[in-house]
Structure 1
Amino acid sequence: MSDKNIKTDLNDCYCRGVKPTVAFEYIIRINDNELSVKEQKITGIKLHELEGTSSDTHFIKMVTKEGKIDIGPLIEVDLTECGIERFIILPYEQQEIDLEDCFCKGVKPVITFKYLLKINREKYSTEKEKLSREEILQLAGKDPKTHRLRMFTKGGKQIIEEGQIIDLTECGVERFVYEEIDCTEGFLSSDFNLITDSDRLFLSSLPNEVNVINERNLNWIVIRGYELPKGYNVKQADIAILIPPQYPTTQLDMVYFHPALRRTDGQPIGALSNQAIEGKVYQRWSRHRKPSNRWNSEIDDVESHLDLMMNCLKAEFDKR
């Protein structure tokens, strides 16, 4: 075969773990596009020309087995070096993608420089598109030997197994939740059979005391001293959530606070009323799901409802 007919596919070499051979033509990938070039060595400027972009507005990352490497306009890359999977060229303002935001919008995360992923209630940044279970737990400062990891997606919840790799660019990854494997020494009290296993694990992971209360045939979960968003008269409050019969098929709705909340700026809060729980006056916030965010028993639970209600508290300051 003539050398002029030899083509080397860098992505194929990367997948097979072999060093690309010198060839007449090289097949490279920029973002999701496949292109052919004849130069063995290629500069950042040339890559921008191929993609129709500029170093003034776009960054280049070379994806290798060692991770992502910055490629400046004058940097020269030898395509026969082992381990080049592809190149990423994207606008500077798109360097960080929030996976939870993509999930809510129902869009697939684009290939980018950084990804923002939610682990429990915090968000963490990573430059890797693919992370192992162990790496995700380490991002949150948790020991993979003492914690399990669950992934929430549009398809439901799943426990991530040891060594399992998660591709953050796959559509439908909402968030991750870690839980201590040993949950015997928690703050849970009373009968918790009325909630799910995932609820018990989540509530056990909280630093707060959690109680189950039954009054007038109504079951309540009460989280003591839960930290609230800024802007209210108290930093912490007891939070009550009504657990309806047939939960989790039946959705959770609204949230109740003791003591009552007021905005520190003096602005009124709408749709409030009182509710007697455990001999105290709790403040009921009538906050309900929209048709576009209907309850899904495969995904939603006490944790997701609590997260939604906390976001309602934050959104209160955008209304008035």
Structure 2
Amino acid sequence: MEDKSFSAEKPQVYKATVNDKKITVKTPKITGAELLKEAGIKDPECHTLYQKLKGDFKRISMDEIVDLGNQGTEHFVTKEAEVFNYLVDGEPETTDKKTLTPVQIMELNAVDTKQFYLVQLRDKDAEINYAFSPEESIKMHCRGMRFVTRKWLDLVDIESYGKECKEVPPARIYRIKVDKRYHDWNRRFITVAELIQLEYPNSSAQFEVYKFVNTSPKPIKLGLSEQVDLTERCLVRFTIQPKEQTDGLQSVEEDVVLRREFNLPEEDVDFLNGLGLPWEAIGNRTTGGGMWILLHEFVIPEGYHQKHATVALMIAPSYPATEIDMAYFFPALTKISGKGINALAAQPIDGKTYQRWSRHRAPGQWRPGVDNIASHLCLVENWLIKDLGR
């Protein structure tokens, strides 16, 4: 016969409703914060809790204890926070507005909005910079937000920041280098058309624009409709090249002397070293022979059988006053499409037979003091891409 004198009693639970969600707890006494947690409400500090009584509501603080054992105490509702606390430059501020703009936040803290801009500090040193969006709507958060103000810089030299890949701060004026000249620009963005106008304000000729960045071994060609963010990290400078060059079949019969035997301007050496590719300077200015730059492992655009080649550039004794003309490749390039390449000839260089691409600037397009090996290689890449479309 079963003994029922020791049967286990069912544990008592206490029920409550928070908004429309029913919860059960094992203890009658519970804090306001615990009620919200049981109801699955995140960020309890962002809500105000009310106990629903007959014809009235009683506010319950987060650390206040409610006894669910008392009849009529089990109904609760919440409201979103009505007041938002935040810091500006370490000073506490309060607002009942759900959204504020950076300008409003600074004005409420008596900050000169013409001299300063607003930055929001996030976790782990992350920031949101509102320098260029002063009227953006910022949703205020009840957990507290941190803002600081920073003074606008009068002028920032893009080249100096780009060479070190430093973050470019907001400024009233950005100084940019286009070819050999510097220009002051009063906006964060500049279009390719505006870059061309800086150098050629009244020209109807067609040009191509390249940007140099510290993280790329090659200049980056920009689209005609493209605009550049001058605060782009590692941006250094720009170069502008005539869009069209002519093909030709001029002969070159200089003898070639081996190895690296002449000096280049410092900017050419810096550029070639920055490519990260092996290069040589062979020949000299006194023997009457040819002087050549050999750039090995040069990347060839997709569409040719060759992925890499050595590109040779003939350097005149009077360079950089005299232009660099044409380009020479080893091994010879051939298209995957099987189509021919215009204006080719053979050229002996350094004991090998190079493929000469006869491509020439129009008279007067070489700009001494502006054009150099870097700008000529921009043209060479353009020739390679252009010929694929023929």
Q: Which has the higher helix share?
A: 1
TM-score by length of 2: 0.41
Which entry has the higher C-alpha Rg, 1 or 2?
2
